[in-house]
Structure 1
């Protein structure tokens, strides 16, 4: 045996580095690949975590190339790996574009699979039920349904993303897909053709599976309840866009009851009568009562704020009476379905849903456990894919509601998910890698590690390779009033307009609230701004971005949803303006409950939760500016608290090393083509 050979934990790291170096396999086989030291460091750290079955938290600055950095060691290791991304769009990009390029460049023959949640796959049974139903609101909707039927006869994967023009929010999607509630499992007449089953089988036999966070977390929540796992057992997990995980985990370890599933239960019960026509007389009135009770509850909540606590909702007598009526309607539906349970598998599934929804409503209204509330079963038809576990009272959870234009959602959300997440990681005995461009607060990871229950993880801060002094400038305007001032919007526009004139538009204006967004949009229009304006809420997000890119000089006004997942490289985007430090909304019941829990535990809510959350949100917004080595742009941070409050330094220290200025002349010179040296951070008397 060669005693000079590197230890096993180092060999994979060395191979990963070599593959990503100048002259390595990726440079030799991928056109325009550029070696980056930060990428090599990240790949080596991922490899070490894989080999040691350890845990790594890694922040990879924009431009690091983190996707290649974790795919290379994952593919070279030969370990069974789950890669989870933040959205389905990123999932498709990773699987269809990035993964094949890296796999081919490395010359490895590992088997890969793409696995999405069941709402992405066509359900033959649901499609058959929808045929002939008078549920199409327009000719266009009916024509699109016929296109889905035609596509269903030729698709191999059943992924609805293949259907051109079918958006995720289309009302057709729930009509042709199954849910955990309405799936018939092995009792389905189309079980042998089920696209969900086939996708899971492919994942079971693959070496590397690409999923999204929703599916990953659904699996973790189900394992906690003791059902079988959706995802195959893996030796390593890579969680990309990992900053999203704590908040998403709170949803999946909680439970909710919303309007749409209630209405769908009523309609599905009637649709199942096709198989047993005599059942229609029994179910028609209970179904009508359930639909009416659901709509009546939404109407009764009109006088409530858009979101609030269970206690706030209880103050409205009309809402309490409407909940009584909904509980009665669910009980009536349950009683009508019980004699029909054995008549058809669909009725059995509907009965389970009626019992489950009744129990959820009871638990939302009164968390005290009862035997009936805790056991609404028979067991579900598909025990591998059930709802998350019920919560033990209200000690560690918050009950709250949220209203939409025509619906509602009644939720119970745990305040701390670190324990169940830590338990699952421990049980998996796998390597875990958490990576994102926005995880660290002032270069430290304690806040994120605490959220996920990580004890002494290895950490890595892989800096962005961009030339910040040449590519970017951070402008902090002088003279702005306090953000709470009534005239803040007008003052902000006065400060920002010279920047937009210097850049010729080409800007994102990101706001902490929709109210501020609408105010500045109105001011810009009243002033007859010379740039095309694209305002969130006036068109779908994707269409706004498409029009913005095509305009060449547009100004897009957006709120929180535009802080991340938006990639506009090149000259189309040269300015990002952030109006205020993005502290959590005061009307968010979950956020407020977390702050109160920290206070009760003797912590400092501002230091421990509000400040870290705001820093991450600011980093996400700032990250829209520079997306490639060729980009140049100005980040405008308007909030005077950045320099007037001691905590402002935490925000500035968490940003990339942008040169900073308070002088509009520097902005004008930047867009005039002059590359200025870094400007020292203002201090002392220079602050104002």
Structure 2
């Protein structure tokens, strides 16, 4: 067993070459699988500790005043680290900083082998929540007593190291041998460790992990064969529900602190009646109803009693995972019989073992670090994953590109004769889904299945669509098409790997050139349209309608010429691929079948691209909306082409609702002023075709929420935008002082968010509040939310996706600021086209399109604040139209009745101060 010196430093900053210094050292020595020594000390720097560092670490100038100088402890550090692996979390930082300090003090730098526990964990704990020290500690059940203190961090890192070493040693020898092939390109010095483990496994009778099988040189977790059991269970639904919801019933026993909610039982019974009567149902279940359990109970009961399968569709993958990880285990404790529930996603989510095997056979010399790291973590992951679903992983950025080469989408249709057919993850999921009672999917796959004549999901007659207000928009995207420049370049680059003769490579280069010319012209076309039926969308792209009839003749001709050149070059490549396939058919090489399959897939992709370009650029389809988006500050060919039907309801009715016996659509936001008419129209249904029910929230909004609307803010349509943003920034600042941060600010425009972010930075002292802003602060939506919740005094600025799906219960969130009523900009191309269509029908686009969309969005934003019966807080609406405009009542009468105050901002802030105190 080797010796490891696990090191952590606390410093005054990130850069030792610019004078930053060490203020604390922690070293934990590990030998023979045990912690044998611990060393920790403050270090006295010759500079003041920045306030931010003191806040982060708790280390003050007073504490280090009597500490030793670094030069006085340097020899101790060198001795502890000698003849040991130098281990740290982000090892290059700690080792680099320590060596700079050693050289400054007149000592030689440490030159031992290194292990970075971030890299180690990414490979050997591929399904970790995240790779920060605190996240790994939580995942591995390691107690972290004092985060951001050197010895505590070093101790936790040592415990994580031991855990990972133990796990790595138990992997099949074949897995470690393949990792050894990749080791030269990793940052850590794993060679000696990997070699020792291989020797230990080959020359000792070590037990093999019984849950792993080795097939074709890959260690893979064994799969259980799905079984669908028949049940003799004759309890009526009424009896079952009584057992579940009774005051001392099964639910009370299974969930600690469960509070009975009348609306939850009412919704469950209503849904069961809908299934029994084979009728569609729309249910609005306001926040706090417990709608997830309210639809799962009758859905699963019906599936078990009638030997049916029920499809449950959600809009977000986050809710999918929540259903499987939290709700399904609860259901298993509530039902007296066994059942199976499975998540089904699109093919691109699943690893193709066949493609992965092929990639591993290629020499890794040309791969960059991210691809090597991805190959390594996939090798470990397949020994432990049941699903093969990429959503279990955190892939590095280039790893996502590599994933496109090894996912199930890349293998087209796997031949049943293939050696991988019985083990491939996508087929596993399909087989499980055939036997399952509950299939959990997302709106995107539900709609893909719908558009492709139901070839992806097993046949079903009953569906529950959660977050149902998104269904028609998702369907619209799937009934349309999307083409973008980056995907085209990726496809052409892939063709270079297949068509390797000089003539073909020239033709591919020519196709790339034609694509460049076409997409640069489209980029300039959008730039020139700015201000003319063009607008920014909520992620900062410029978008404009594309309609040949509105374009000048010269533009149409020139664009047509550019497009036809590119399309002809694609047709030539399709012919080349076909010839290539014919030559492969006469070849008797081992990979003939795989090569032919790959070429067929590429021919399909090229032909689909040709069809989509032709539809977008040439066909004058009056029932479709076409628009172009560009990255405002991106490359001149960062262009996206979109095409969607103007009206989706009739397509949904024909291809979904009329095909199924009972579809339940549910959400917290389906009604406007208690009416379902708008959502029914969007789904192509009449009131007599659907049962509808509204389940009110059990929360007391009048006691829990203050809705504050100031009457003295500048009006953005009459005053300068800068004056408006300056005023709201000041009010955010004042309100944040009262609520101690804990504030979510919702915008309708990314531009406004960015400007407000800059203004707020001017209002606050550096260490006063943590400002976290979508698109400015790095990270995904869930990462930004976690960061927000981890700071005591934080303000979260968000647009688009932050209006819904953000769940921050308790004291972490005390106020929601809605900057403007969430109307889509009139220049939005989709809105513009739909508005024109409504006008032609003699309808009012504002009342039938703009206003309902905005009200639904407003309800979502309002709903972010109260997530439990104990929450309380303020919704501060900066848009005076809520009170002054005639349509304002549509917003107010569509949300739960809260305490509403309309006054000058100063008085409202006084009121907020009293209310919180």
TM-score (structure 1 length as normaliser) = 0.86
Q: Which residue of 2 aligns with 1:389?
A: none
The correspondence for 2:600, drawn from 348, 357, 367, is 348
Go from structure 1 to structure 2 and tell me whether the alpha carbon gap of 1:182 and 1:506 turns closer, same or farther (over 3 Å shift): same
Equivalent pair of 1:113/1:202 in contact (CA under 8 Å): yes
The answer on whether the counterparts of 1:13 and 1:73 sit within 8 Å (CA) in structure 2 is no
CA positional deviation for 1:295: 4.2
Selected match of 1:53 from 263, 278, 288: 278
The answer (yes or no) to whether the contact 1:30–1:105 under 8 Å persists in 2 is no
Superposed counterparts of 1:228-627, under 5 Å: 229-272=455-498, 280-281=501-502, 283-303=504-524, 304-305=526-527, 306-311=542-547, 322-342=562-582, 343=584, 344-367=596-619, 394-404=621-631, 405=634, 407-456=638-687, 457-484=690-717, 485-486=719-720, 487-528=723-764, 530-538=768-776, 539-540=778-779, 541-627=781-867
Q: Answer yes or no: is the 8 Å Cα contact 1:534–1:555 preserved in 2.
A: yes
The reply to whether residue 656 of structure 1 matches residue 893 of structure 2 is: no
In the aligned structure 2, how far is the partner of 1:138 from the partner of 1:186? 32
Could you say if the C-alpha distance between residues 160 and 504 of structure 1 is closer, same or farther in structure 2, counting changes exceeding 3 Å?
same
The match for 2:870 is: 630
State the Cα distance separating 1:628 from its structure 2 match: 1.6
Asked if the contact 2:371–2:399 (Cα under 8 Å) also holds between the matched residues in 1, the reply is no
Deviation of the 1:129 alpha carbon: 5.2
CA–CA separation in structure 2 for the residues paired with 1:606 and 1:17: 47
CA distance in 1, matches of 2:390, 2:284: 33
Instruction: Report if the CA contact (8 A) 2:743-2:816 is conserved.
Output: yes
Kindly indicate whether the alpha-carbon contact (under 8 Å) linking 1:59 and 1:438 is maintained by their aligned counterparts in 2.
yes
- C-alpha distance after superposition, 1:374-405 (max 9, x if no partner): xxxxxxxxxxxxxxxxxxx6121112222244
Q: CA deviation at 1:668?
A: 4.5
Q: Does the 8 A contact of 1:57 with 1:460 survive in 2?
A: yes
1:148–1:163 contact (8 Å) kept in structure 2: no
Shift of 1:522: 1.4
Distance 1:674 1:550, change over 3 A: closer
What does residue 879 of structure 2 align with? 639
Does the alignment pair 1:106 with 2:106? Answer: no
Greater CA drift, 484-493 or 443-452: 484-493
Q: CA deviation at 1:526?
A: 1.8
Contact 1:234–1:430 (CA<8 Å) still a contact in 2? no
Residues of 1 paired with 2:559 and 2:251: CA distance? 61
The whole-number CA distance in structure 2 between the counterparts of 1:232 and 1:505 is: 48
Say which SS state the counterpart of residue 710 (structure 2) adopts.
coil
1:128 Cα offset (Å): 4.5
How far apart are the structure 2 equivalents of 1:129 and 1:569? 47
Distance 1:169 1:493, change over 3 A: farther
Give the 3-state SS of the residue equivalent to 1:476 in structure 2.
strand
Counterpart contact for 1:64–1:462, Cα < 8 Å: yes
- Paired position in structure 1 for 2:421: 191
**Aligned residue for 1:33?**
258
Partner deviation per Cα, 1:437-483 (whole Å, 9 max, x = no partner): 11111111100001111222111111111121222110111212222
- Rounded Cα–Cα distance in structure 1 between residues aligned with 2:280 and 2:427: 31
Helix, strand or coil for the counterpart of 2:348? helix
3-state DSSP of counterpart to 1:566: coil
After TM superposition, the structure 1 = structure 2 runs for residues 102-141 of structure 1, keeping only pairs within 5 Å, are 102-128=331-357, 130-131=359-360, 132=362, 138-141=368-371
Say whether the 8 Å CA contact 2:577–2:599 is kept in structure 1.
yes
Q: Which one is further off, 639-648 or 400-409?
A: 400-409
Structure 1 residue 296: Cα displacement: 4.3
Give TM-score, length-normalised by structure 2. 0.65
Counterpart secondary structure, 2:714: coil
Name whichever of 564-573 and 144-153 sits farther off.
144-153
SS in 1 for 2:415: helix
CA contact (8 A) 1:129 1:271 kept: no
Q: How far did 1:89 drift?
A: 1.6
Provide the alpha-carbon RMSD of the alignment.
2.7
Higher Cα Rg, which structure:
2
Contact 1:120/1:177 (8 A) holds in 2: yes
CA spacing shift, 1:229–1:361, aligned 2, 3 Å: same
Of 288, 298, 322, which residue of structure 2 is paired with 1:63?
288
| Aligned mate of 2:440, from 181, 199, 210 | 210
Higher relative contact order, structure no. (Cα contacts within 8 Å, ≥ 6 residues apart): 1
CA drift of 1:490 comes to: 1.4
Mapped partners of 1:290, 1:641: distance in 2: 52
Distance in 1 (alpha carbons) for counterparts of 2:818 and 2:883 = 15
